[in-house]
Structure 1
Amino acid sequence: MICLDTNILYNYMFKTELTEKAILKSYAHEGFAITTIVLNELIYIVLAKVTGKRGYALRRYVKARGYPSEIIDKVITVFEQLEIAVLPDVTDPRLVLETARRLSTPTSRRDDSPNL
């Protein structure tokens, strides 16, 4: 199983100088997977590419118009072509927060931070 990142899928979907490196079909026998975070990022960057909008302008676009079917269709097509599996998200948010707390410097820690 090969786990793919957003930039690989982006370069596979859109012709860029890195497209040749992102040709994945020769590795398809390995099986591909992504996390739900990568799926969310992929939808966002495809939407940004197609609309030409970024940041708050993109958020306003989605709020007013939703996600165009063209975007969803592009992502679905890639999933079908590469038979990509989406891995379940089993991250415990408390573990993430506790790790962040342990890695924080003493001066950056706030007294009103929640107890975990």
Structure 2
Amino acid sequence: MTISTARPHEQAHFYARLLGGRVTVEEEADPGDPNGITWAQVKPPAGEAGMTINVEHEREWTPPVWPARAGEQRSTQHLDIQVDDLDAAVAWALECGAREADVQPQDEVRVMLDLDAHPFCLFV
């Protein structure tokens, strides 16, 4: 999965912390990137199977709006993350820097927003 962002370094480290993974690659930036990184990769802990997340700099980044509204930037993907304890998972996501979306459509699901407002769902 690839996530576009204005700040790939921060997003990569956010997802690595949130998911217990590791940032394995950070490529140096072009002159327009204030963070010094244009692309980063997050992998599961060494020796474990799991999804790889690529995080790339998007110069013209516009955060998505969730839920979608006509005429607004829409999210093109989102992660669904199964958890054992929803309250604990929400607390951990908040500690990592996420925030809860204003709209929560289901009791057993929490829609969270990452550092750049990409939605992701925690569910039991």
Please classify the TM superposition score into its range, dividing by the shorter chain length.
under 0.3
Normalised by the length of structure 1, the TM-score is 0.27
Highest relative contact order (Cα 8 Å, sep 6+), 1 or 2?
Answer: 1
Return the structure number with greater helix share. Answer: 1
Larger Rg: 1
Normalised by the length of structure 2, the TM-score is 0.26
Return the structure number with greater strand share. Answer: 2
